[in-house]
Structures are given as C-alpha cells and as structure tokens.
A and B are shown apart, each in its own frame.
Chain A
Amino acid sequence: MRLAVTITMALSLIAGAAFAKTPYHDGTAEVIKPVDKNHPLDEVVSGYNFRKAMIRDVQDDDFENPGMLVADHGEELWDTVDGSAGKSLSQVFEGCAEVPLDVVGSVYPRFNNAASKVISLEQVINMCRETAMGAKPYKWESRDMLGITAYVRMQSRGSRVNVAVDGKASAAFERGKDLYYKRVGQLDMSCAHCHEDNYGNYIRADMLSQGNINGFPTYRLKWNGVGSTHRRFRGCMKNIRAKPLPYGHEDYVALELYTAWRGNGLKVETPAYRN
C-alpha cells in the first residue's frame, strides 16, 4: 500500500504540473506580499490557509487545540526552579535569548552573541539551562523541550515573523538557501519542488502548502502530538527517501532560518494545528 502511496505521490505531482493550479484558499486567507524583495514568491500564505475548516476550527479554539496541552506543560516548566543555580528559566531566559520574551518567538533562529553563531530556539533554551541554570539540557523532541518552545513561541503569537538574515546571520542564511534548492534522496527532490513550484497543488489527497514554519512547534494529526520544525524536516527528508539529519544539525538550523525568512511577515501561530 505504501508503494502505491509513494507512486501516486509522484504521479499526482505530474498531474499538478499538467493542470491549472486550483485556488488554495477561500478568500478569507491573509495573503501578504513578501517583506524582502529577494523573495522568490509573489505571495506568502500561512499553512493554516491550505487546510479545511475541520482543521482550522480546532486551531481557532485554544481550548479545542490539543497543542495547548503541551504549551501548558511548558508554562509549568517556565517557572520551575531547576539546576545548581537555583533558578527557573523565567528568571534567566531573556538574558540568554538577547531579546525580550515577547519578541523571541518571532526572531529565532537568530545570531546569538554568546553562542557566536545562528542558533534555534531549542538551542537557546538548552544553552540557558546549562550555563545560566546549571541544569541538564532537554532532549530535542522531548515533551519538556516541545512544551517550553511552544510556550515561549506562543508569547509572540499574533506578532509577525521577522528573522534577521543579514550581517552575522548571512552565512547561515546562504547555507539554508542552498539546502532548500538542493536535490536530495532517491526521489531526487528539493524543498522547492513541493513548496515553491507546487504549493496549492495536491500531492495525492493532500494540498501542498508553502512550507512556512510560523506555527511550530505544531500539533500534527499525523503525529497525534506536537513536534518541532526539525522533526518536520526529517519527515520531508524521509518522504523523498533522503537520509534525515540529526535534530539540531547545523544544516537544519540554517534551513530553519531560511524557511522562517520565507515566512517573514506571517503571524506567529504557535501552537498551530495541522494534518
């Protein structure tokens, strides 16, 4: 059955290329112009608008959204004292992140001076735990890490994604861009084949989005739970029969920065709800 799925996946992309693009949103979608003139697309749309009402309605209701169970867990951790310094993350986090709490979620991944490189939100949190709290780092995809990243990013919910890609971040940005367009795996595909050339087209019964990451960590029905951007990257890699990189790999951080930049201007939706 999986064989059929995969072949149909590839075939439906051919069909997608052969027929006119179907309208992928119903007119209520927020369609923004790219913030940066070097953006490859004319319009930027959140993954939210590629989904049907059954899914959007759940995200629209904070109570129905099961992603909130994880964000709630993060809220508890936020104020919990942990580690040899006797501090909670809430006491030290802004110092580590180098930006105010309500901004962090819209500007990370970011060049962090203490780390002297571009790092993701997960990495800031672990850096903070190790250096400022004297606590053990969280495992990347653990409930604790997902909870705390969901909670922190939620503090920026509604504000616009605004990652910086110039100056000291430019090398990571260029690396991320190369990776985005690089063909990989047995299916010999790049991110751009699906999310730039074919968004709005169906891949089998699934409508391809632009691959924006403004809702991560996000609850996915496929996962029956919340996952990180890097988990999604790994899933995409497996879909195209490429070898996924480990969580937190430098290339994934670069790709995350580049992908976040493509969605600059979109509202942070964390924790989003997707299929």
Chain B
Amino acid sequence: MKQTTQFSSISRRHALAMLSAAGAVVLAGVPAYADGAAVAAKIKGLTGGRSVGEGDIELDLPEIAENGNAVKVAFSINSPMTVDNYVKAVHVMADGNPTPDVASFNFTPAMGACSASTRMRLAKTQNIIVLAEMNDGSFKQAQATVKVTIGGCGG
C-alpha cells in the first residue's frame, strides 16, 4: 500500500515528537498492581482460612475485552435461595488491577435466584475470581481469565 514507505521510517524527530506528545498524556504515575497473592490474602481474610469448594458458579465474562474501561462481569449460582439454603454474599476480585476488589453483593432469599451482572475496569489481562459465601458459612469459588487488548487510537 502506498503509505508503507511513510510509516516504515520513523525518524528520530518523529520519535521525539511522539515522546513530547506522550508527556501531555495523563499518566497516574506508575501504578502497582495486585497479584495472585493479594487475592489469596483477600480470600483468606473473607473465609477465615476455611476451605473453598469449586463448581456451581457460572461465569459470564468475555474471553477478550476490546477495552478495559467497561468489561461485563456476570455470574449465576445454582441455589434454591430458601431461608434454609441460600447464597449470602458474592465477592468479585481481579488479580491484575491496582487493588483486588471489584465489587461484592449481598443476596437474600427474596430474590429467588442468585445472579448479578455489572461492568468493571480491568487494567490489563488478568484473572477474575468470584467467591461465594453460603448461609451455612461454606464457600466456593470460580475463576476465568479476561484478555484485555489496548486500542491503537481508542486506548
């Protein structure tokens, strides 16, 4: 294509121009990111060290998020949601954001079903961990990876 030659030579002047332009862009400093350990510590705090089961949590997350500013996160948990047997709380965490917490939800039997959907910010490709707390004090969790791409002009 005709513009190839134009683009193949990024001169020093161009590079410097880009660099100065970059200076005008707002950066919030160099952020520290949470990691698996931060999430593990968080889970330990929530569960009090009790064992966490797997399964019965259905996650609805995009495999690839074109933009990390609003990524759908939805889950549903199979539960009768009766006074004797219901999901009390769900914690959504992310291991690659500046802090691991995303949101938590408190459910009641009046809802009849356990699910929720929201939109979250993801700083980069990372794992989303969903931890559910049952009314009997037991826990279960599920996780999935969301690949976050950063736009050329959009990002």
Contact = CB atoms under 8 A, between A and B. Distances in A.
Asked if A and B touch directly (CB within 8 angstroms), the answer is: yes
A20 interface: no
Contact of A203 (B2, B62, B64, B152): B152
Contacts of A206: 66, 149-155
Contact of B152 (A187, A193, A205): A205
A208 B3 CA distance: 16
A3 B18 contact: yes
Chain A interface residue number, banded: 35 or more
Given A7-B15, A205-B155, A193 B3 contact: yes
B103 to A, nearest CB: 17
B104 to A, nearest CB: 21
A14 interface: yes
A1 B27 contact: yes
Interface string B15-35: 101110110010100000000
B6 interface: yes
B151 A275 contact: yes
Contacts of B22: 1-3, 5-6
Q: Which residue among B2, B27, B71, B151 has the maximum number of chain A CB atoms within 10 Å of its CB?
A: B151
B69 to A, nearest CB: 4
B67 A239 contact: no
Given A10-B10, A14-B8, A186 B17 contact: yes
A246 B153 CA distance: 20
B21 A14 contact: no
B25 A2 contact: yes
A14 B4 contact: yes
A29 interface: no
A155 to B, nearest CB: 27
A196 B22 CA distance: 27
A18 B67 CA distance: 26
Contact of A53 (B19, B27, B62, B151): B62
Contacts of A5: 22, 150, 152, 155
18 contacts: A2-B22, A3-B15, A5-B152, A7-B10, A7-B18, A18-B4, A51-B66, A54-B65, A57-B72, A197-B1, A197-B2, A203-B152, A204-B155, A205-B152, A206-B151, A220-B154, A224-B69, A241-B21
Given A54-B65, A54-B72, 16 more contacts: A1-B22, A2-B27, A3-B18, A3-B22, A7-B15, A9-B152, A9-B153, A12-B152, A14-B4, A54-B66, A188-B6, A189-B3, A197-B2, A205-B66, A205-B149, A275-B154
Interface of A: 1-3, 5-14, 17-18, 51-55, 57-58, 186-189, 193-194, 197-198, 202-206, 208, 220-222, 224, 235-236, 238-239, 241, 274-275
Interface of B: 1-4, 6-8, 10, 14-15, 17-19, 21-22, 25, 27, 62, 64-67, 69-72, 149-155
Across chains A and B, which 6 residue pairs bring their CB atoms closest together, nearest first?
Answer: A203-B152, A2-B22, A205-B149, A204-B152, A206-B151, A275-B67
